[in-house]
Structure formats: structure tokens, C-alpha cells
Amino acid sequence: MKMSLMPFTYSMPTRVECGNGISGKTGELIRDLGVSSVLIITDKGVRGAGLLQGIERSLASANLFFEIYDEVEPNPSAQTIQQGTVYLKQQKMEAVLAVGGGSSIDTAKGIAAMATNPGHILDYEGVGKISNPPLPIIAIPTTAGTGSEATNSTVVTNKETSFKLGVLSSLLFPKLAILDPALTLNLPQEITAATGMDALTHAIESYTSKSANPVSKAFAMQAMKMIGENLTRSYFVGTDMESRENMLVASLLAGAAFSQSRLGNVHAISHTFGGVFNIPHGIANAALLPFVMRFNLPACEDQYREIAIALGRDVSGLSNAQAAEKAIETIIEMNRSMNIPLNIKDLGVSLDVLPKLVEDSMRSGNVVVNPRLTKASDIQLIIEKAYEGDFEGFNYGNRNASSGKNSETAIVNI
């Protein structure tokens, strides 16, 4: 494995508690943070599935006062964060507890930040703009996908512009992440697939990012190995506790990785799909991943060889180019086996707004750290190829394969 010796900084202040049934100790774990009240932030699906019941009992046993805000939607909006902040202040809560997928955790981060900072969440787009420490953030993921319980960012949809923006700050790391595989046992297959491929996308894009460092690459590599060994079992068996726990840990590792390295073109484009078409983030990532990998192939053959091995492929005797193709083939096979569309047309993407999709994608700082130099015309090509499910036809010339700075840089580094 080639490794740059560039200077780097690593920091992740989140305490992690993992184990079957550990959510039953939520109350005492939160008590350790020195708070006496907490706002549970979740969605109606999680609440309706009864996943809060044990957590509520634990909070009550620890004499913690709590209320529930269950208005979280997919691709959470700035309005939802604003409404939640008003509710939190009315109830005079001292901390936020996210229970759910990435949308709930992102919403909780936004509410916690806006409880202590002036203005509107949209004012904080970009890096390091949050001045005051948010309220303590506790995250209990019920899906193995976003890794948001271990990241320093939140992604918010501006409904007025149909744009998903990123807010990054070291202050947004949760104080506590509680990983309980029992909460993921009854996930529908399609959510297991989409969130699992979301975690894999995080790991792959983090591993190949221009900003990757030895720590982030180690986390990303371990995440890929664990996902390769456990995702399809989680999908086809569902109730296997070991694979569910391993997927939760892999998701956290991938989140911890990209919190240091950022991501790449998959996320630059998929965020636009969420903002414009309200497509769930994980499924958009999964469908886009093989197309972006093929575009990036000339810039990271060595890394793709390592990814193929991590995902369990035998590449002995193959050239780097052949081994790299095996990595892409593996992603396509995983998508096909879990009924994930092999094109973005089937997700509801329309090329009628292609200029906006390209423009919004190029706003993302993920383009800057993508391993292959990327121009607006490249983003357009990736979207067009992914729309038709056409894996061929990418330009493999040297024009874009350098590791220099991308020509149209971003204002959002997420």
C-alpha cells in the first residue's frame, strides 16, 4: 500500500459504546455527560416501529426528562431544523439524542448547533463557521450506513433552491455514539442494501481521496473488509446479529474515515439528486458508485486493486488495470444482487435539469479531493452515462488524470 508522508491531523472526540442491547443503558450513559434533560430527535417510522421504547425506559430509569421531536424527513430540510430548534428551546432541553438513520442524526446536529448560535442553519454552509459549542449530541443509529455518529458534518436541504448544503465543524462531532445491532434487525431489505452501500461508498471515496491520511485509510480499509464480509449476509439473512453488528461498526469506521478525508464525486453528485429529486442518499450513492469509479480508474489503479482484495476478490496474476476492473465489477455485482438499480434513470433522475445538476455538483468540495481531476464537463458525462447505465465511453486520456487541483472548485467542503 503506497502512503503519502504528508503532514496530517487526526481528531475524533466521540465516545463509542457498542454491543447487543447497549441502548438499554442509554440513560446512564447520558447521565455521565452531566445533563438532566434531552430531546429525542427521530422520524415517525422509527417511532412507529417501537425502537424508542427501551430507550425511553432507560431515560426514565435514569431520571432524565425527555420529549420527542419526530418530524425528521429524508434529506432533512432547514425548516425542519428551525422548527426543532424552536421546540427544543421551548422545552428548555440540555442535550439532543438522535435515534434513527443519517437524517435524524444530521437534524439533531443542526438543532444542537442552532440552539447555541444565532441566525439560521443556512448561514453556516461551509467549514468552521460555527462559533459556539452546540448542545451535547448523542447518536444512536438504527441503520448501518451514514456513519454520521462519527462525523463532524451535517447535510441540510434548502427547499427554496433544491440544494443540499454541508455544514462542517469539529464542534459537530457527537459526544457519544451508541451502537446497538438489535435496533437494526428488522430493517427492510431495501434499506439494508441502500445504507450498506452508502457505507461502502464512504469507505471507497475516503480511501481514494486526495486528502486521505494514514489513519483515515486504515479506517476505510477495515470498513471495506467488514462490509465485503457482512453486507450481503445482513441483506439475505437479516436477523444475523453478528453481521448486523459488524455492519454498524463498519459504518462508523467509514464515517470516522471521511470525517478526516472528505469524499469524492459520488457524493458531489448524489447530494444534488437528494436536493432536486428527493432521492434517498444511500440509493443514489450506490447507483452512482460504479460510474464514478470507472471515471476515476486512471487515477487510482493501485488503490482499486487494494479495494478489490478488501472486497474478497482474487486478483493474483492480474495487472493493476485488470485488478482495478475487478473492484468495479464487484460493486456492480453487489448492486445487482440486492436489487439496486444499475442506472439513475430508474431512481427518478431527469436530464431536463442537467445544467443545474452539474452546477450544484461543482459547488461541492468533494470534487476538489476526488482522485481524478474533474471539470464540469466530466460531471455531465458521469451523469449522462449513469442515466443510461452505460459503463463504457469514459475518457481515459491524460487530460484529467493528474492529481492537480480541480479547475472549478467548491464553496462547500462536505
Q: Which of 158, 184, 210 is the last residue of a domain?
A: 184
The percent of residues in the chain predicted with pLDDT above 90, rounded, is 80
pLDDT at residue 346, rounded to an integer: 94
Q: What is the pTM of this model?
A: 0.91
Is residue 67 domain-shared with residue 103, that is, in the same domain? yes
Strands across the sheet with 163-168, in order?
A: 126-127, 163-168, 153-158
Give the DSSP letter string of 293-315: HHHHGGG-HHHHHHHHHHTT---
CATH code of the domain covering residue 279: 1.20.1090.10
**Mean pLDDT across the stretch 269-282?**
90
Is residue 168 domain-shared with residue 235, that is, in the same domain? no
SS (H, E, C) 248-292: HHHHHHHHHHHHHHCCCHHHHHHHHHHHHHCCCHHHHHHHHHHHH
pLDDT at residue 414, rounded to an integer: 36
Domain with 222, as residue range(s), is 189-388
pLDDT at residue 44, rounded to an integer: 95
Is residue 78 domain-shared with residue 209, that is, in the same domain? no
Answer whether residue 412 is part of any domain. Answer: no
Burial 201-218 (b: 16+ CB within 10 A, else e): bbbbbbbbbbbbbebbbb
Q: How many domains does the chain have?
A: 2
Is residue 281 domain-shared with residue 321, that is, in the same domain? yes
| Each residue's pLDDT tens digit, 330-352 | 999 999 999 999 999 999 999 99
Q: What is the distance between the alpha carbons of residues 338 and 193, in angstroms, rounded to a whole number?
A: 6
pLDDT at residue 188, rounded to an integer: 92
| Each residue's pLDDT tens digit, 106-145 | 999 999 999 999 999 999 998 889 999 999 999 999 999 8
pLDDT at residue 166, rounded to an integer: 86
Q: What is the distance between the alpha carbons of residues 305 and 273, in angstroms, rounded to a whole number?
A: 29
Answer whether residue 8 is part of any domain. Answer: no
CATH code of the domain covering residue 143: 3.40.50.1970
Answer whether residue 57 is part of any domain. Answer: yes
Is residue 156 domain-shared with residue 195, that is, in the same domain? no
Model confidence band, residue 3 (pLDDT cutoffs 50, 70, 90): low
Is residue 193 domain-shared with residue 86, that is, in the same domain? no
The percent of residues in the chain predicted with pLDDT above 70, rounded, is 93
Q: Which three cell numbers stand for residue 408?
A: 472549478
Model confidence band, residue 408 (pLDDT cutoffs 50, 70, 90): very low
Residues in the chain, overall count:
414
Q: What is the distance between the alpha carbons of residues 46 and 16, in angstroms, rounded to a whole number?
A: 22
